[in-house]
Structure 1
Amino acid sequence: MPHSPFPTPGFIELSLSLRADQQESVEAALEDVGALAVTLLDADADTSNEQAILEPGVGETPLWSQIVLTALFEADTDRSGLLLVLAELLPDLDPAQITFREVADQDWTRVWMDQFKPMQFGRRLWVYPWNIEPPQSADNVFIRLDPGLAFGTGTHPTTALCLEWLDRMDLAGKFIIDYGCGSGILAIAAALLGASQVQGVDNDPQAIESSLSNAMRNGVAERISLHLPGAEDPAPVDLLVANILAGPLHTLAPVFAARLKPGGRMALSGILHGQHVELLERYAEWFDDLVVSQRDDWVRIEGIRAGNREWRVGNS
């Protein structure tokens, strides 16, 4: 994902479309040959609206079947060498699908700013890019994000569903875990909405870096602890939010059940409509009052930790 500041005054940007199952190997190869930043966008997004910026799950591939990948390189990078690398990785790729353009230093930041506008979630929660000053308001809560570091900005329906859930929860003085924290947007929202302690967990060190930077920008770093999976404090929490994917959500069900206090609330997203049926059956073993909400093709499941059931952490 993007980092700033960059070391040179100008850049070239490579862009191509690919399948989700190609993303990991292509991104790794581009980084090996010197990519300064790799950005993933939903190829099927309505170009008349903001495109959804990738918020990856824990150890998972992207949420979309088709991706537009852009990679930023220093201005003197050998373009023919980059094309040779991609030809080896994707021999069936039409070279005409790969495009280059020159990008001025200030233009790269502007691309992100143009995609990232203030957005409202629920009654009082807003997400603002760091360069736009929010209005003074006693009734609203503002998250400030750096688009150059954010894995997720709220544009994707799964993130929006989780932000809206947090907005209507009573978080004052609560202990919360954000599993698969990405940019830290959900952890930061929880802290700004009154949580006294928030854990962010992600298996990507870049996500931890992004979350820390954004937490510091929002003045809540002292209430947010960030961890790789298994390194976090195992103490029971009051609320849990996990915006990952259906596969890991199924696997992690007993772990989440053990982390939540009886009566604690959870919200799960990153779930395509249809996948929720199996997850409802899975989580019914530990959770009551399971409710499904849908946005476009995506689903949020919320529920309450049952107080009279065995904590079977060893289940899989």
Structure 2
Amino acid sequence: MAWQQLHLQCEKSNVDLAEALLLEAGALSIALDDAGDQPLFEPLPGESPLWDEVILTGLFDATTDAGSQQAIEQLSHEIAAQVQATRTWLTAVDDKDWEREWMSNYHPIQCANDLWIVPEWLTPPNPEATNIIMDPGLAFGTGYHATTRLCLDWLTEQDLADKVVIDYGCGSGVLGIAALLLGARHVYAVDIDPQAVLATNQNAVRNQVGNRLQAFLPEEFTDYCSQNEVIPVEVIVANILAKPLIGLAPYFSTLIAPKGRIVLAGLIESQTEQVTEAYQPYFALDPKHAFTTQEDQHWQRLSGTFTS
């Protein structure tokens, strides 16, 4: 089966109308992309931010009347007029084995101190290394993002033997699983996304550490802590975003033991001072510069010790 894609660029105020018109015309799926270079950070629950200028891509089955070249060209003119599109264009997409295509984008990643992240369908390059076997799934944390790598490198530098760790904002569970494979005794993983909780549990089983990891939504973890003596812990890892990190500073101070270690990631250089100020009443933090992401922006890692 072959496919036709109709691309439309319009202002975000017209995106809902453009989506409705594409679906009404028979689009099988619609993708939204940034028409410029405007960063959007991970939204909180219930938020759906959009770029000021958006490219919508409607996918059509080229073997149907609605997906024919002539029909798509006519549709592009009709929708463009209604949504005030600044440009439209068409592309053809050959049929592929999309599962294989997706899998081909992933490869083993070597982190610090012989720690590897290996997609589950590949053979570890070094079977004797510490290998985290991962299914990327729908959750954040494949190891390809700079912030994940920063935290993984930090974990390999810590003495985690028999330590209890909280992985807050666990995503795929890669950081918590790494901690367990590096010697931690138990991990409590927390995320606001139910899909992340599911992915973390599945990946923990995949790495044969499921009996030493528990994954929760935040409110579930709060309830669990109130009913069980699970805190304070020795290590907290939080790879999320600057705004929630700032808000979580007092809460993290209630979870961690004296002299406990913490690492924070998901912030860029311009946000470091604000995050540091929020944690100063409780932690002594040091910044770590890392990978360049955009001009004059670098991902940062803050790590330190609980002092209160």
1:94-132 per-residue CA deviation (whole Å, 9 max, x = no partner) reads 56367563544xx22222222211111111210011111
Checking the alignment, whether the CA contact within 8 Å between 1:58 and 1:202 is kept in structure 2 is no
Residue in structure 1 matched with residue 112 of structure 2 by the alignment? 122
Residue in structure 2 matched with residue 277 of structure 1 by the alignment? 273
Equivalent position amino acid for 2:166 in 1: I
Q: Which runs of 5 or more residues in structure 2 are unaligned?
A: 226-230, 293-297
Give aligned pairs, total.
276
Secondary structure of 1:169's counterpart equals: coil
Checking the alignment, whether the CA contact within 8 Å between 1:55 and 1:152 is kept in structure 2 is no
- Give runs of aligned pairs for residues 174-253 of structure 1, distance below 5 A: 174-232=163-221, 233-234=224-225, 235-253=231-249
Give the alignment partner of residue 124 of structure 2, picking from 113, 128, 134. 134
Q: Which runs of 5 or more residues in structure 1 are unaligned?
A: 1-9, 45-53, 310-316
Q: What CA distance in whole angstroms lies between the structure 2 residues aligned with 1:222 and 1:34?
A: 45
Q: What CA distance in whole angstroms lies between the structure 1 residues aligned with 2:4 and 2:194?
A: 24
* Structure with bigger RCO (C-alpha 8 Å, 6+ apart): 1
Give the alignment partner of residue 164 of structure 1, picking from 149, 153, 156. 153
Equivalent position amino acid for 1:197 in 2: H
Q: CA deviation at 1:225?
A: 0.7
Secondary structure of 1:302's counterpart equals: strand
Greater CA deviation, 209-218 or 179-188?
209-218
Q: What CA distance in whole angstroms lies between the structure 1 residues aligned with 2:272 and 2:172?
A: 25
Checking the alignment, whether the CA contact within 8 Å between 2:139 and 2:195 is kept in structure 1 is no
When residues 147 and 230 of structure 1 are mapped into structure 2, their CA distance, relative to the original with a 3 A threshold, is closer
- Give runs of aligned pairs for residues 1-316 of structure 1, distance below 5 A: 56=42, 59=45, 91=83, 96=88, 101-104=93-96, 107-135=97-125, 137-138=127-128, 140-232=129-221, 233-234=224-225, 235-296=231-292, 297-306=298-307, 309=308
Checking the alignment, whether the CA contact within 8 Å between 1:121 and 1:163 is kept in structure 2 is yes
Q: CA deviation at 1:277?
A: 0.9
Larger proportion of helix = 2
Question: What is the aligned-residue RMSD (CA, Å)?
Answer: 4.3
Checking the alignment, whether the CA contact within 8 Å between 1:57 and 1:180 is kept in structure 2 is no
Checking the alignment, whether the CA contact within 8 Å between 1:182 and 1:202 is kept in structure 2 is yes
Q: CA deviation at 1:136?
A: 5.4
Residue identity over aligned pairs, in percent, reads 39
Equivalent position amino acid for 2:133 in 1: R
When residues 197 and 36 of structure 1 are mapped into structure 2, their CA distance, relative to the original with a 3 A threshold, is farther
1:162-201 per-residue CA deviation (whole Å, 9 max, x = no partner) reads 1111111111111111111111111111111111111111
1:186-227 per-residue CA deviation (whole Å, 9 max, x = no partner) reads 111111111111111111111112222222211111111111
Q: What CA distance in whole angstroms lies between the structure 2 residues aligned with 1:266 and 1:190?
A: 13
Relative to the length of structure 1, the TM-score reads 0.70
Secondary structure of 2:300's counterpart equals: strand
When residues 276 and 181 of structure 1 are mapped into structure 2, their CA distance, relative to the original with a 3 A threshold, is same
Q: What CA distance in whole angstroms lies between the structure 2 residues aligned with 1:65 and 1:169?
A: 43
